[in-house]
Amino acid sequence: MRQTKVHNLIILDESGSMSSIKSQVISGFNQTINTIREAQQTFADQEHTISIISFNGFGTKMLHFCDPITPIKEIDSKRYAPAASTPLYDAIGFAVSKLKLVVGEDEKFHALVTILTDGEENASTEYSAPAIRQMIGELSESNWTFTYIGTDHDVSKAAADIAVKHSMSFQKDCDGIETMFSEERKMRKSIYRKIFG
């Protein structure tokens, strides 16, 4: 039996305002990586890949792209160093288009896209809100699940503006971030079980 590919795509804000929560974000993301790794072991019919794309005004960085989850390296302070502005739409457009190319015509897959940001779009030059809304709206009708996680702005409105149906806001402090990552992992596990259990 051919395994279902599960593409875990995380689009991570690396703008300057994330500096104050840098260590908590690194820790939380490394726990998320472990959750995906556990899912790979739990669900024999799933083959997980991970893509982590961070972004700021200096551009987008592919920390991982469609890499097998088992040997993955954790994020550290050298690989995640917040600075500059927030070209959120450009990062989403770049990351989702790239994954869409990989998925191609494959029908036996699911893409789980998580966007984490502490601020609204303020620097994109290639993609606009309507373009991202159309892209996400179309993909959400098939095997793509999008989640928008944010703080310090109107998170539900920002998610709705780009057609993301699942959103979560968090307090920008140690407890708030810990709770957010814990909830994100629960949601992730529930999606794995619901779709493939």
pLDDT at residue 135, as a whole number: 98
Comparing 105 with 101, which gets the higher pLDDT? Answer: 101
pLDDT category at 154 given cuts 50, 70, 90 is very high
Residue 147: its H or E element: strand 144-150
- Annotate 56-115 with DSSP letters as a single string: ETTEEEEEEEEEESTTPPPP-TTT----S---HHHHHHHHHHHHHHHHTT--SEEEEEEE
Mean pLDDT of the chain: 94
Domain boundaries, the chain: 4-93+101-196
Q: Given the structure tokens 């088992």, which residue do they identify?
A: 70
pLDDT category at 196 given cuts 50, 70, 90 is low
Residue 110: its H or E element: strand 109-117
Inter-axis angle of helices 129-139 and 88-103, nearest 10: 30
pTM of the model: 0.96
Residue 30: its H or E element: helix 22-42
Q: Given the structure tokens 């998580």, which residue do they identify?
A: 114
- CA dihedral (108, 190, 39, 31) in degrees, to 10, reads 130
State how far the Cα of 121 lies from the Cα of 91, in Å rounded to an integer: 10
CATH class of residue range 4-93+101-196: alpha beta
